[in-house]
Amino acid sequence: MKTIYGIENFPASEGSIVTVGTFDGVHLGHKQILKQLIDTSQQSELISVLLTFFPHPRMVLQPDISMHLIQTIEEREIALRKTGLDYLVIHPFSEKFSRLSADDYVKEILVEKLNVRKVVVGYDHRFGRNRTASLEDMYNYADIYDFEVIEIDVKKIKSIAVSSTKIRKAIEEGDIELANSYIGDPFTLEGVVVHGDKRGRELYYPTANIELQNKHKIIPKQGVYLIQSDHDNQVIYGMMNIGTKPTFDTTNPTIEVHFLIGITIYMIKPCK
């Protein structure tokens, strides 16, 4: 998979099959869409393209509302590499971009920039300024610009019964097992080790204090979790505490892990 930053940098010499979305937390529903995209691209000899956006549109259009990401853009890219996608196009989302009319969006983005021949969309797909254009409108544009619309069967999407909203709720409630079942992969946290109070050493349980690099990353409910980490091709287990340290009269929430260094954390489940 090749990652392209900015639609204007996409090599539009070949015809493409495209799907569009934020794909936060590349979950089973997203993977159903991507499977249809990739299978059709191989049958049609078209390159498969996912057009996504960063920052998340809600961060730009609703800055006063707290937005918690299931996956950072870097984590999303890692997840998408496993799918067999040809191109991931990450375009900066801005207020100016959000004001593109449906006409301009289809003509300038899909047709001229991405050289679309087929577009894969969900049954409830909406696009254009204020998301006013519907799937029916996309079919009309397909007739005008001579591309095909492939609609994901509503039964396929609803049978999976998963959404980013459900995943966020599960994580916020500390139900990592449920979140993992929706995603189809382990939920992860990434950060760097920073200096703490070093009290763990005195108690013979040294811990690593993890500082997340993205302030919008969702953090699970406070509690103690069994975790798994991959380090030098070895699986290492440990305990992670998310929360305050009442024993030491501190109220600021922290993320502490017993055993590890600054590497990816795969969330397994909360300790009972």
Does residue 240 surpass a pLDDT of 50? yes
Q: Are 155 and 32 in contact (CB under 8 A)?
A: no
Query: What pTM does this model have?
Result: 0.85
Residues in Cβ contact with 203 at an 8 Å cutoff, skipping those fewer than 6 apart: none
pLDDT digits (tens, 9 = 90+) for 213-230: 888 899 999 999 989 887
Domain boundaries, the chain: 2-162, 179-270
Question: What one-letter code names the amino acid at 203?
Answer: L
Does residue 64 surpass a pLDDT of 80? yes
Residues in Cβ contact with 257 at an 8 Å cutoff, skipping those fewer than 6 apart: 207, 208, 210, 227, 238, 239, 240, 241, 265
Does residue 71 surpass a pLDDT of 50? yes
Rounded Cα distance between 157 and 149, Å, is 17
Say which CATH superfamily domain 179-270 falls into.
Answer: Riboflavin kinase-like (2.40.30.30)
C-alpha 254: how far from its chain's center? 24
Q: Which two tokens stand for residue 124?
A: 């409830």
Can 2-162 and 179-270 be said to share one CATH topology? no
pLDDT digits (tens, 9 = 90+) for 179-207: 999 999 999 988 888 865 555 444 445 67
Does residue 272 surpass a pLDDT of 90? no
Which CATH number does the domain 2-162 belong to among 3.40.50.620, 3.50.50.60, 3.40.50.10300, 3.40.50.300?
Answer: 3.40.50.620
Q: In what order do the strands lie in the sheet with 87-92?
A: 2-5, 87-92, 47-54, 16-20, 116-121, 148-151
Mean pLDDT, rounded, of the chain:
87
Question: What one-letter code names the amino acid at 190?
Answer: E
